[in-house]
């Protein structure tokens, strides 16, 4: 980041607009993802690929339908998982 951005961030924290740089960064990213649907989709596609979220969570976070997120995943060459993940299957097995 440029020094102007760092100085601006420091000024906002110093003035008390944000309690920390982390809070400022979270707000900036939240705003970024709110206005950049393509980046929201890219992020959730990667999270789904790494098995960090379900298809329904990916669709919800991307702000699209389940069918739309399936299309994005297919276009990205990611196989749609069916049924339980290995971890959920193991949890279910322990409960039974």
Residue 4 burial class via C-beta count within 10 angstroms: exposed 0-12, middle 13-18, buried 19 and up: exposed
3-state SS assignment for residue 19: coil
- pLDDT of the residue at 82: 83
> Which is more confidently placed, 29 or 96?
29
Taking only the tens place, the pLDDT of each residue in 22-78 is: 999 999 999 999 999 999 999 999 999 999 999 999 999 999 999 999 999 999 999
Q: Which two tokens stand for residue 41?
A: 């989709």
Q: Where are the domains of the chain?
A: 1-35, 37-96
Q: Which residues contact residue 23 at a Cβ distance below 8 angstroms, ignoring those fewer than 6 apart?
A: none
Indicate yes or no: pTM above 0.85.
no
The mean pLDDT value for 4-24 works out to 95
């Amino acid at each position: 980041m440029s020094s102007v951005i760092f100085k601006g961030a420091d000024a906002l924290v110093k003035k008390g607009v944000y309690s920390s740089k982390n809070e400022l960064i979270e707000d900036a990213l939240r705003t970024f993802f709110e206005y950049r649907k393509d980046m929201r989709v890219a992020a959730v596609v990667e999270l789904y690929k790494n098995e960090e979220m379900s298809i329904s969570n990916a669709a919800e976070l991307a702000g699209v339908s389940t069918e739309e997120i399936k299309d994005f995943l297919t276009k990205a060459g990611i196989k749609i998982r069916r049924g339980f993940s290995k971890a959920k299957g193991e949890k279910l097995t322990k409960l039974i």
